[in-house]
Structure 1
Amino acid sequence: MSNLVVVGFPKVEEAEEVRRELVSIQQEHLISLEDAVVVEHDAEGGVHLRQAINLTTAGAVSGGFWGSLVGLLFLNPLVGAAVGAGVGAASGALTDLGINDNFLKEVGESLPRGSAALCLLVRESTPDRVVERLRRHAPHARLLRTSLSHTDEDRLRGLLETASKQAEALRLT
């Protein structure tokens, strides 16, 4: 079972930096993510979702490949590629994997203007080691929402607060 974790940041750049760091941490097998979306509430009041994977593009590439393959069988690979890319892009645009976009927009609307949140769908992790690695990237992070148990949520809050204090102490020295 996956857990949803939403962490707030005062700036979108901090959320993006943490997402980039999580990708490298994932390569070390300290965390396994199903989805990682940065939600921005801009200064004008608009909400923007910055998905980790562009499903429309992925669908177009996949559809183009399969369309070309089918087109080769019928001696018309260019038409097959074009049709396959179109169908793949359409199916990718209609597919919503990971965290529900409506939920993400609700999160964005609840954020103060100019701030952001990193929404994670975590399959499994080693929270203490992950937070330790993120300490310098997320000194102002705060836990907004989660589907963790109360015990795990309190533990994660404690880790984030400790990391925030340690990062602040390092910055002052």
Structure 2
Amino acid sequence: MSELVAIGYPDESTAALAEDEVQRLAADLIIQPDAVAVIVRDKKGKFHVTTNHHAVAGGASWGMFWGLLFGLLFFIPLFGMALGAGLGALMGKIEKSGVDKAFQQQVRNMLEPGTSALFLVVEKITTDKAVKALSHFGGTVLKSSLSEDTERELQEALHGAEAA
């Protein structure tokens, strides 16, 4: 089972610094992220997204996942994606997944203008070492579980049934 983790920061730059630390922790196998994204909401309220994702079994398109998730959370299209009928159905799957309404609302509330957040999809983590390494950045941690069934369904929706 994977966890979707969002860590919110009270400024626009800390999430990117924390992402650098996550990449170091990944190299040391302390955190094994499937996907990492940083989202910044500037003082004018505009969102800026940076992603860094690793290939996973079944060829899941994490870039598309982030785009759809952030579209759902913040009503912003990413990577030039338009919401056609197929993408609308996929948005419904994400909305019905382990990303519950309370988590969605908490993330929306956390990302006020002038703030940033680090998003991770993590399957394996050495918790004590990761917490120690990331604790000096501060932040507010939100977490939502993605069951194996949910991950499979999302992969199938992103790439068809052969992704299972």
TM-score range with shorter-chain normalisation?
0.5 to 0.7
Q: Which has the larger strand fraction?
A: 2
Report the counterpart of residue 5 of structure 1 in structure 2.
5
Instruction: Output the CA distance in 1 between the equivalents of 2:67 and 2:127.
Output: 25
Report the counterpart of residue 118 of structure 1 in structure 2.
118
| TM-score normalised by structure 1 residue count | 0.54
One-letter amino acid of the counterpart of residue 97, structure 1: W
Return the structure number with greater relative CO, CA threshold 8 A, min gap 6.
Answer: 2
Partners of 1:39 and 1:107 within 8 A in 2: no
Q: Which has the larger helix fraction?
A: 1
Post-superposition Cα deviations, 1:141-173, rounded to whole Å, max 9, x if no partner, equal 101342279xxxxxxxxxxxxxxxxxxxxxxxx
Report the counterpart of residue 146 of structure 1 in structure 2.
144
Task: Give the secondary structure class of the aligned counterpart of 1:45.
Answer: coil
Report the counterpart of residue 15 of structure 2 in structure 1.
15
Change (3 A) 1:50 1:106: same
Instruction: Output the CA distance in 2 between the equivalents of 1:135 and 1:118.
Output: 13
Report the counterpart of residue 104 of structure 1 in structure 2.
70
Post-superposition Cα deviations, 1:78-120, rounded to whole Å, max 9, x if no partner, equal xxxxxxxxxxxxxxxxx84264313224445721101011110
Change (3 A) 1:10 1:107: farther
Structure 2 unaligned regions, length at least 5: 54-59, 76-107, 148-164
Task: Give the secondary structure class of the aligned counterpart of 1:11.
Answer: coil
One-letter amino acid of the counterpart of residue 69, structure 2: F
Report the counterpart of residue 45 of structure 2 in structure 1.
45
| TM-score normalised by structure 2 residue count | 0.57
Partners of 1:4 and 1:121 within 8 A in 2: yes
Report the counterpart of residue 150 of structure 2 in structure 1.
none
Give % identity.
Answer: 26
| Range with greater deviation from structure 2 (102-111 or 27-36) | 102-111
Post-superposition Cα deviations, 1:51-89, rounded to whole Å, max 9, x if no partner, equal 125xxxxxxxxxxxxxxxxxxxxxxxxxxxxxxxxxxxx
Report the counterpart of residue 129 of structure 1 in structure 2.
129
Instruction: State the 4+ residue runs in structure 1 displaced beyond 6 angstroms.
Output: none
Structure 1 unaligned regions, length at least 5: 54-94, 150-173
Report the counterpart of residue 70 of structure 1 in structure 2.
none
Report the counterpart of residue 164 of structure 1 in structure 2.
none
Which has more radius of gyration?
1
